[in-house]
Chain A
């Protein structure tokens, strides 16, 4: 487990530093790129947890699609070079309070639930087939509900975007 611990430390540091830089940088494209680093680091953490399918999905959906769309939108509208943007909004103290609260609740609930429990060495390996079996049997109702929700959002977006 030593190697995993070392890599966890490295990845966690990268993710935390990138997250901090993402909100403090003064260039909007840099902020988006730091977010890419955060998401990629999270994907690598999923690999450490032997959740290979989730890690791949993370890369495909968040980096390959969502972040590319973000960058595409930013560059299509306004993406000046250099530190010119005033990026800190007026509500930043409020946002800081919300973030601290959210972080606090998450940390508290995790410690409360797991405490000093340790993951068994070797751990379970989640194969892709297991994940899909679970999704299409145990979690079939939430899965269908989410897909209907996404379809509604999709149609809504098209209706809003249509001019005629």
Chain B
């Protein structure tokens, strides 16, 4: 790998962090416009936003301005400090996720040794913010929504982490770049032209990961915490204006980050067949490849969201503890056996 420009560590980190900060709102805007506005509308036989700008592309700018104008309201009984901190905690969890997402051999904020493990750890922080929001709002519906969210996120975090274990065993590393490399240099029955994307050998893990991610993102059919027909709106019911926007941005930013994790771990990440793993050109082409794969995965997430009805709370808990966790444990055992045998 040739180094084109060498900067001091703090300058390099500063630039990378600035880029990551700019990327998060952009990515959530892309997801909201493409999927929530347009795709959902087409799937439900309506037009969606089409007035503001060409194909309604400027609708989001209008929405953002609307959110920023709104008055900042606290409920009378609310615990103000916790109430204000909650959306920041949720968004911080999203920001921390972006630190390890790789988009090229060097295009990553910090190539952490514990990559996947770190991503799982910081994604679990959002539960804390949700509980804080639910409690501090001084609203029964918000508290119920917060408790439902916590119960659900705890239950689905387990299969999520256990599904990742299969990939980690096969790649022999926790490092996300290492996982990409393991897929790029892998072979399927001696045929190595497209490497070995782990979706082929870890298909069960991929399915479990996607289902658990759907629940972690509280997307339908797992949207009990924000079930508007029974809870009015869940944990963010009392939030208006900018603070609501923070929750909204965190939701879609996290969806993007989980789609990115899935494409790194199962679809081969930024690697393009035919290139060396540390080819410098991949730093330029990699982000594009990643974006394409992420949008593909996100498409599936939102497709399911717009298609299935909501699960009941007991069905939701049963599904996690009685189906997903045993399945993911079986997947770990099987992967371990294959790893030792071959």
Question: Which A residues contact B (CB, under 8 angstroms)?
Answer: 27, 29-30, 33, 36, 52-53, 56-57, 59-60, 63-65, 67-69, 71-72, 75-76, 79, 81-82, 127-128
> CA A65 – CA B158 in complex, angstroms?
11
**Taking the nearest CB of chain A, how far is it from the CB of B9, in angstroms?**
11
B157 touches A64 (CB 8 A): yes
Seed contacts A29-B82, A33-B132, A81-B138; 10 additional CB < 8 Å A-B pairs: A56-B121, A59-B124, A64-B125, A65-B154, A68-B131, A68-B154, A71-B128, A72-B151, A75-B131, A81-B78
Partner of A60, one of B124, B131, B134, B150: B124
In the complex, residue of chain A having the shortest beta-carbon distance to the beta carbon of B117: A56
**Taking the nearest CB of chain B, how far is it from the CB of A80, in angstroms?**
10
Chain A residues whose CB sits within 8 angstroms of the CB of B112 once the complex forms? 52
Interface centre among B78, B131, B147 (most CB of A within 10 A): B131
Is B180 an interface position by the 8 A CB rule? no
Partner of B147, one of A33, A36, A52, A75: A75
Q: With A75-B131, A81-B78 as known contacts, state yes or no: A128 contacts B113, CB within 8 Å.
A: yes
Q: With A64-B127, A67-B128 as known contacts, state yes or no: A75 contacts B151, CB within 8 Å.
A: no
Question: Which B residues contact A (CB, under 8 angstroms)?
Answer: 77-79, 82, 112-114, 117-118, 120-122, 124-125, 127-128, 131-132, 134-136, 138, 143, 146-147, 150-151, 153-154, 157, 174
> CA A82 – CA B82 in complex, angstroms?
11
B147 touches A60 (CB 8 A): no
> CA A67 – CA B118 in complex, angstroms?
18
Q: With A29-B135, A65-B154, A79-B135 as known contacts, state yes or no: A127 contacts B124, CB within 8 Å.
A: no
Total A-B contacts with CB atoms under 8 angstroms apart: 77
Q: With A75-B147, A79-B135 as known contacts, state yes or no: A69 contacts B122, CB within 8 Å.
A: no
Partner of B121, one of A59, A76, A79: A59
Chain B residues whose CB sits within 8 angstroms of the CB of A72 once the complex forms? 131, 147, 150-151, 154
B128 touches A65 (CB 8 A): no
A60 touches B120 (CB 8 A): yes
In the complex, residue of chain A having the shortest beta-carbon distance to the beta carbon of B158: A65
In the complex, residue of chain B having the shortest beta-carbon distance to the beta carbon of A67: B128
> CA A128 – CA B116 in complex, angstroms?
12
B150 touches A71 (CB 8 A): yes
> CA A65 – CA B153 in complex, angstroms?
10
> CA A71 – CA B130 in complex, angstroms?
11
> CA A127 – CA B112 in complex, angstroms?
10
Q: With A33-B132, A79-B135 as known contacts, state yes or no: A63 contacts B113, CB within 8 Å.
A: no
> CA A57 – CA B117 in complex, angstroms?
8
**Taking the nearest CB of chain B, how far is it from the CB of A33, in angstroms?**
7
**Taking the nearest CB of chain A, how far is it from the CB of B213, in angstroms?**
16
A56 touches B118 (CB 8 A): yes
**Taking the nearest CB of chain A, how far is it from the CB of B169, in angstroms?**
12
**Taking the nearest CB of chain A, how far is it from the CB of B15, in angstroms?**
19
**Taking the nearest CB of chain A, how far is it from the CB of B188, in angstroms?**
27
Chosen A-B contacts, 11 in total, with CB atoms closer than 8 Å, are: A33-B132, A52-B114, A59-B122, A60-B120, A68-B124, A68-B127, A68-B150, A71-B135, A72-B151, A75-B135, A75-B146
Q: With A52-B112, A52-B113, A56-B121 as known contacts, state yes or no: A76 contacts B147, CB within 8 Å.
A: yes
B121 touches A64 (CB 8 A): yes
